[in-house]
Amino acid sequence: MKSLSAWSVLVLTLPTENATARMRFWRALKARGCAVLRDGIYLLPYTEEREGVLRELSVAISESGGTAHLLRAPSLDASQDTEFRALFDRTDEYEGLIRTLADARKAVSGQSAAELTKGMRRLRKDYETIVAIDFFPGEAATRAEAAWQDFVAHVDTVLSPGEPHAADRAIRSLAVEDYQGRTWATRRRMWVDRVATAWLIRRFIDRDARFVWLPSPDACPANALGFDFDGAAFTHVGDRVTFEVLLASFGLDRDPALVRLGAMVHALDVGGASVPEAIGFEAVMAGTRERAADDDQLLAAMSPVLDSMYTHFVASERFSETEKRQ
């Protein structure tokens, strides 16, 4: 037999004299996904974390001149459980998002990288906001996730055409001294992984590297070391992006600052755990890409940015080590 849900119930009276405070609390309740049972009674599926948030909100309401009582109760029976769960149905929000994504998809090809990046950030926030308060995900959530992934993939084909598929192979250990004065090739109109990898090559692997920007992978010269495209010498392997593959190949993953830089590149290229510095770097990358006449200019402009990011991570790692020793 299916177990009945437990609920956190917030019974409140908002301060009547302070319209600003009333609006702030209404917005806070909505943002946390609370359902309205009736005027002044709000409901959330119980978890310790959610109840803690409501407890903090209760204190703030009381301090602002209102009253708030937080209770916990189970559903009385299966019928009531179904009724309460239905209050948290996010189908309408998901359907609205799917329509928005469909409209945004039509305009993708006519936008600049900066516009696409800004739009993606806004739509990602809208999608994640709904997901965060969808306590009982169902079919609508599945459809929305598929629509979001499809939209992201479509934008990626515009920002980074020819994005490689992950190869299933071992990463070999290589010696830097065997890769000096080489010609390296990747797809033109670089995006995050490729520009960071080109910087890594010239900064830590082959200081005399020459780069060729390819109109398509098929145009790669026979004597060039290709990177970040299917069939290239260096490309995505497993869950690692090209930047991370080169770190592992040349033993550079022993440098914690480069590993952190790799985590940022990974998050921006294929998603994953968020990195605080990623949004700022992505914005700079998008703007620089719009201003640069070609990939040589793009690499020249982004190299100091990556130098600064690396220096920042080095300093951060040193500070962390100092903190551990104290």
Candidate ranges 98-107, 154-163, 252-261; pick with highest mean pLDDT: 252-261
pLDDT band of residue 323 (cuts 50, 70, 90) is low
Share of the chain above pLDDT 90, in %: 69
The residue behind tokens 């000096």 is 180
167 found inside a domain:
no
Across all residues in the chain, what is the average pLDDT? 91
pLDDT band of residue 161 (cuts 50, 70, 90) is low
Residue 48 belongs to domain with CATH number: 3.30.70.240
Q: For 210-247, what is each residue's pLDDT tens digit?
A: 999 998 888 999 999 999 998 899 999 999 999 999 99
pLDDT band of residue 20 (cuts 50, 70, 90) is confident
Shared domain for 98 and 66, answered yes or no, is no
Point out the least confidently predicted range of 146-150, 158-162, 166-170: 158-162
- Surface-to-core class of residue 111, CB atoms within 10 Å of its CB (0-12 exposed, 13-18 middle, 19+ buried): middle
Adjacency order of strands within the sheet including 41-45: 35-38, 41-45, 6-13, 67-74
Total-model pTM = 0.60
Shared domain for 316 and 261, answered yes or no, is yes
Shared domain for 249 and 122, answered yes or no, is no
> If phi over 0 gives left and psi between -120 and 50 gives alpha, with beta otherwise, what is residue 139?
alpha
73 found inside a domain:
yes
Q: For 45-57, what is each residue's pLDDT tens digit?
A: 999 999 999 999 9
Q: Which of 35, 51, 86 is the last residue of a domain?
A: 86
pLDDT band of residue 152 (cuts 50, 70, 90) is confident
Containing domain of residue 78, as a range? 6-86
170 found inside a domain:
no
Shared domain for 195 and 268, answered yes or no, is yes
Q: What pLDDT does 318 receive? A: 86
Shared domain for 297 and 212, answered yes or no, is yes
Instruction: State how beta strands 225-226 and 183-187 pair.
Output: parallel
Q: What pLDDT does 288 receive? A: 92
Q: How many CA atoms lie within 13 A of 146 on its CB side?
A: 7
Q: For 31-40, what is each residue's pLDDT tens digit?
A: 999 999 999 9
Shared domain for 228 and 262, answered yes or no, is yes
Domain count for the chain: 3
What are φ and ψ of residue 90, in 5° steps?
-100, 20
Shared domain for 116 and 148, answered yes or no, is yes
Residue length of the chain = 326
